[in-house]
Each structure stands twice: as structure tokens, then as C-alpha cells.
Structure 1
């Protein structure tokens, strides 16, 4: 499923991943931040797939993991169940009548909500030694 089509602006992630856009499967969820302004929900997560042709800066620094920050605006119908220290999960998004239905599902956590807008705020990379992220 091409989740990037739900972003207000997908140019950042398209520039990094080109035609082979990453899935939101086996992501590692680091943070869920709620804000009354919007109201909004901010997710910080690691993508499982690293780009085939990453930026040269990432190559030079030996980075092997991409981390993104997604912001969902005007959230409603929020449900959160569970919490854990290693939240590997799959994220699904679909749209009905201009409303996004977002579900985050892992062994330790389940989050569901609706949103009007989805923004990719940040995309970065780092060296993942496998100790803290849950990825192999």
C-alpha cells in the first residue's frame, strides 16, 4: 500500500526513496506525542527499508536506518491500548470521504484514530547497531 499518497507533500520521501517507496510494515515506534493544538498526534518511527541510493552524506557516515516523524492533524476517535519498550508494528492507512483511518498494530501496542491531514515533518538517518531498535 502506498501510504505516501496520503501525505500533504510526499516530495521529501520520494526524493530519498525514488520509485521504491518504503512500506509501513515492521516499523519501530519510538514516540507518540499528543497535542491539543490541532488536535494532533505525532509519531516518530524507524522504517524497516533503507533506500537503495541514499544521500551521499548518509553513506559517508555509515547510516543504515531511516527515521521519520509523521504528524496527523485534526485527529478524532483516538484509541490507545497497551505500551511496551520494543514497539515493532505495522501501520495501515486508508481514506474514506476525505478522512484518513490510521491503525498502528504491534504485539505490545494498538493505536487507532482518524485524521484529516498527514504531514511528514522530518526524515533523517542514523547508524543502527541493532541494540535499541528491534530491527535485526
Structure 2
């Protein structure tokens, strides 16, 4: 997926994935809305391994935990949150001075909004079944 210009710290993703990960097939596990800025933060578990994994990561990891914050969030529409929130389609594009973000999940849930900035909060390896 094409990297948006709205990512504050793109090197966190580009050094591992070359671009913004597609996130299709990922599981959206947490969605938090905060009044600060206002901000929306999400956590995902993806099986999309980086092209270049950090040397300190073990060779046998199964998943990648990704946490993103969307700063200056507006126009939030969120419908049908469920138990298994698997991303069917993820869309991210620059629209003027903002980014348009859209998650369409297999359980018919949707999460759409605009934001001023995107920040990569963390990227960590994991094993299936680990918290």
C-alpha cells in the first residue's frame, strides 16, 4: 500500500515493510478514542511479516503487533464492532491536508475517519496465542 505523507515517523514502517503494510487479513483488536488532539489509537495483529525484520527479533515469530495513533481525528463513523474483527479491506489516502482512513471488516464492521497525522506507536513480534 502506498505510504501517506501524513505519517509522522514513516521510517518505523519503511525500514521494515518498504511502505505502509496492506493490513488485509489483520485482526483489529483494540480501538481507543481520546479527547486529546482528539486521537484514535488502534492495535492490530498481522501475519504480514516485514521484508526486513530487526536483527533482535527471533526467526520463528508468527505475527506482528502494530499500534497506530491517528492524531487530529474527525468524522468518526464506527459500526458493528464484534469479536472477530478481521480486516477485509484497508484504505488510506491523502486528501488535502488530511488522511482518509477506512477499515472494512469481514464481520460487516466499519471504521472510517479522517486525521491530520498518523504516528506508529509500536511494532513488535509475537507468537500465535501470545497476549
Scaled to the shorter chain, the TM-score interval is: 0.7 to 0.9
Structure with more helix by fraction: 1
Runs of 4+ with deviation above 4 angstroms: none
Q: Distance in 2 between matches of 1:39 and 1:83?
A: 21
The 1-side partners of 2:39 and 2:51 are apart by 32
| Runs of 5+ unmatched residues, structure 1 | none
Aligned mates of 1:111, 1:5 — CA distance in 2: 21
Change (3 A) 1:87 1:21: same
What residue is the counterpart of 1:23 in the other structure?
A: 22
Instruction: Please state whether the residue corresponding to 1:15 is helix, strand or coil.
Output: helix
Who is 1:119 aligned against?
119
1:80 aligned residue = 78
How many residue pairs get aligned? The number is 129
Give me the whole-angstrom Cα distance separating, in 1, the residues matched to 2:128 and 2:65: 10
Distance in 2 between the 1:9 and 1:33 partners?
20
| Cα distance change of structure 1 residues 40 and 21 upon mapping to structure 2, 3 Å threshold | closer
* Superposed displacement of residue 21, structure 1: 5.6
Question: Alpha-carbon deviation of 1:83?
Answer: 1.1
Q: 1:67/1:86 Cα in 2 relative to 1: closer, same or farther (>3 Å)?
A: same
**For 1:78 and 1:45, how far apart are their aligned partners in 2?**
19
Are the counterparts in 1 of residues 15 and 52 from structure 2 also a CA contact under 8 Å?
Answer: no
Structure 2, unmatched stretches of 5+, are none
1:96 and 2:105 correspond: no
The CA deviation string for residues 20-42 of structure 1, in whole angstroms up to 9 with x for no partner, is: 76322112101000000110000
What residue number does 1:67 align with?
65
Quick one: distance in 2 between partners of 1:119 and 1:23? 16
Q: Distance in 1 between matches of 2:40 and 2:19?
A: 27
CA RMSD of aligned residues (A): 2.1
